[in-house]
Amino acid sequence: MFGVKEAEEYMQNMRSAVVQHLNNPNSIYFGREGHLRLARECGVALNDFNKTGQRAILSGSYGMIYVTGCNLKPILDAKEWINEMRSTMKWGFTREWLIEMKCNYIEYHKLTDQMFYGVAQTDIHLNEYTEIIRRYLIDGGAGNIMQKLGIGIQIITTRAVLLPEEIVTRRFIWLKGNRTGKLLKRNEIEAIGMFLPGGALYGMEDNFNWQWSDDLLRL
């Protein structure tokens, strides 16, 4: 279990990571519900720390992570933040329990940020990052999660005479549910991260209600 030193490092790393999300209207962390979501995910991380480390995060994260991340304009008060953290801390997820799952929520969203923001959404770019994310999820041990969610890859190819087959588009697609056969929207691709370690819905993929797939980010 981690202690106070690691708790300080965790809060410093989180402070750097959350600024772009808490203040971005397109982020799942924007607004009151998004801020509560972040608090819950920080609560899951508490289970990696000993009692001293947990106390350090519970007492320091509101100012160091949240208020700073909001550019000193918080929506939640300290009591709301801490209560939301405690609500997921009781799940009891531990570092050892997650050891086989190499991919995680934070790293996944770094990839989706690179995929969707600050770059032209050309077919070449989207094809490349769809494959990067697919390999990240599969190699990171999330293949079963993708199967349970009913998400696959659609590859459209073309072939000219005497030339090798060429990939035209490579995209994530729903394989089941009320959007079967439809390509995943940007927000749905981002929301896959919620089912990875560190995400608010990790371990809940079996109970996912498919009638909500159009509003996945509201879960």
The per-residue pLDDT for range 37-55, each reduced to its tens digit, is: 888 888 878 878 888 999 9
Tell me the DSSP string of the chain: -B-HHHHHHHHHHHHHHHHHHHT-TTSTT-HHHHHHHHHHHHHHHGGGB-HHHHHHHHHHHIIIIIIHHTTT--SS-HHHHHHHHHHHHTT---TTTTTT----HHHHHHHHHHHHSSS---HHHHHHHHHHHHHHHHHTT-HHHHHHHTEEEEEEEE--TTS--EEEEEEEEE-SSTTTTPBPPHHHHHHGGGGSTTSTTTT-GGG--GGGGGGGGG-
CB distance 77 to 172 below 8 Å: no
* pLDDT band for position 97 (cuts 50, 70, 90): very low
pLDDT greater than 50 at residue 98: no
Average pLDDT over every residue of 127-133: 85
Q: What integer pLDDT is reported at residue 63 of this predicted model?
A: 94
Q: What integer pLDDT is reported at residue 172 of this predicted model?
A: 95
* pLDDT band for position 219 (cuts 50, 70, 90): very low
In angstroms, the CA 120 to CA 122 distance is 6
pTM: 0.51
Q: Of 53, 47, 83, which is closest to residue 66 (Cα–Cα)?
A: 83
CB distance 128 to 134 below 8 Å: no
CB distance 207 to 201 below 8 Å: no
Dihedral pair phi/psi, residue 172, rounded to 5°: -75, 140
Token pair of 34 as six digits: 């998004």
Distance of CA 114 to the CA centre of its chain: 14
* pLDDT band for position 164 (cuts 50, 70, 90): low
Q: What integer pLDDT is reported at residue 1 of this predicted model?
A: 72
Average pLDDT over every residue of 63-86: 90
Q: What integer pLDDT is reported at residue 161 of this predicted model?
A: 67
Average pLDDT over every residue of 46-74: 91
Average pLDDT over every residue of 96-101: 41
Share of the chain above pLDDT 90, in %: 30
Least confident of 51-55, 78-82, 160-164, 212-216: 212-216
